[in-house]
Chains A and B, each alone.
Chain A
Amino acid sequence: MSDQSLIRARGLVKRFGDFTAVDGIDLDVARGEAFGFLGPNGAGKSSTMRMIGCVSTPTAGELSILGMDPVRDGTRIRARLGVCPQLDNLDPDLTVQENLTTYARYFGLSRAEGRRRAAELLEFVQLADRATSKVDPLSGGMKRRLTIARAMVNEPELVLLDEPTTGLDPQARHLLWERLFRLKQQGVTLVLTTHYMDEAEQLCDRLVVMDTGKIVAEGSPRSLIEQHSTREVVELRFGESALDGFRDKLTGIGERVDVLPDRILLYADDGDGAVAEVHNRQLAPSSVLVRRSTLEDVFLHLTGRTLVD
């Protein structure tokens, strides 16, 4: 089992009527890996996750989870999965601890074992002092941590996280990333979707970039940047609205020029050199920012669109 893929998909398709949400993707996720789906809303990430979570039936193609068929063995697969859904579905009328103990019972654990794991997991997600609190007064970050603790109650081999930090403030996100990183260190296989490039860079060993139901690129965050972008990016802003006119004036600087509605991106391995050349051409941008290339740039290059609109 250990040398086999935990998730294997070939030509996986999901259609809803005329709409194709997932359009023939291939996947292999190995044990212990942190694997990400990066893409904008509507790219097909959540539909793919739902098929992996055995709550959505593939329209076509092959899919195997933990070596089993999700259609035939859904119940057995779910027993070994942990799921942290995009929409919180904690029980608002139960306490923090009861949310975990009732969930443990769904997996057939004894009450004593449920209580033991609840205590351990609340410690892990730093909610032990809120054990007897109701769920409603918890902050968004706390709720998400509780949902992750709940997903861990059956000691899953594979944890699915659908946009784990969407809607959280930066501090809460960092705390969550740190906890997820610990899980990864413990050898838990993580599969997550995100439309945040920094999240993908922080957490994922390997990721696929999805757009309109297809995988447009695959690799480690670093290799994707190396393949599809330059080392650095210069962001130029000009004090006027019609930026298209600058395209010709900037041609030849760096490897590529992208004109966005609000700014212009210059892709260059040497950012400072590119800025010098801009000034040489007597252009006077109102602001200049030289930064490292990110997955956002990769995505923009591959799809012509930004990740978060």
Chain B
Amino acid sequence: MAHPMMATLERELILYRRLWQASVFSSFLLPLLFVLSIGVGVGNYITGGVDGVPYLNYVVPGVLVTTAFQIAIGESTYPVLGGFKWQRSYHAMRATPVQPVHMVGGHLLYLVFRAEVATVCFLIVVGLFGAIDSWWALATLPVVALVSVASAAPVTAFAASIENDSYFSLLFRFGLIPATLFSGVFFPVTQLPELFRPLAYLSPLWHGVVLSRAATLGELPPGETWLAMLGHVGYLVLWGVVGLALAVWRFGKRLQD
């Protein structure tokens, strides 16, 4: 007997098989363009790299996590709201033994799958550029899974709570874009004015970037310890667990009166 969470994941995968071409740009080409323009283009002007790491190699792990972060958030906005308002697919599931926890779980598993596919493709390509320093890079696979869940779960809860999709543009403008720019992807957070640094530390993306960078460089970044690494993991787990609980609660609320 198939688990209901696998059934909802299966639906997402069937849809993905049909629509994957549409995701090629954002999942594969866009990150590659970032790496080429900023990693290689801008990187040529940065002599000595960052903390002794060539700039390309510094940027690659950040872009990798950012890709997962953006897929996770993007796929948890309109598609989730649409499942309640437009296609009403969650209402269709609600008439079956599938419960809110299975709907949310299947959705998050699907985003992990998306993140892993993007990461594997990305690693192969940047590996050919010589931007990967260690087999530890494989540790980015669990890292992107963690970042996906940590960022998608709370956004899923948010999307399940609103009626109007205009809130999403606020989320993109004041959440997604600043997080992408200031979470240590392109330059160390220590470059930020002290006042703003805590904002970067709050973002799950920054913690993911630190973990991912440690993995592709194959060494602990300056100022980091193994214990601090565990702290980053724990912080992401916390976002994931709280977000998941909120999402399941909001789904239940919306589907039962």
Contacts and interface: CB of A to CB of B under 8 A. Distances in A.
Q: Size band of the B side of the interface? A: 20 to 34
A219 B95 CA distance: 29
Interface in A70-99: 75-76, 78-79, 81, 83, 85, 87-94, 98
B173 interface: no
B10 A108 contact: no
Contacts of A94: 11, 14-15, 18
Contacts of B1: 108
A154 B125 CA distance: 46
- Among B14, B95, B257, max chain A CB count under 10 A is at B95
The main secondary structure of chain B at its interface with chain A is: helix
A106 B257 contact: no
A88 to B, nearest CB: 8
A89 B92 contact: yes
B91 A106 contact: no
Nearest to A88: B88
A106 B98 contact: yes
A103 interface: yes
Interface in B1-31: 1-2, 4, 6-8, 10-11, 14-15, 18-19
A92 B11 CA distance: 12
Contact of B19 (A16, A55, A83, A93): A93
B256 A102 contact: no
A123 B198 CA distance: 62
B89 to A, nearest CB: 6
A92 B88 CA distance: 10
B10 A83 contact: no
Given A57-B256, A91-B87, A105-B7, 5 more contacts: A56-B257, A85-B91, A87-B91, A93-B19, A110-B2
6 contacts: A16-B257, A55-B94, A57-B256, A78-B95, A91-B92, A93-B18
Interface of A: 16, 50, 53, 55-57, 75-76, 78-79, 81, 83, 85, 87-94, 98, 102-103, 105-110, 150, 154
Interface of B: 1-2, 4, 6-8, 10-11, 14-15, 18-19, 87-89, 91-99, 255-257
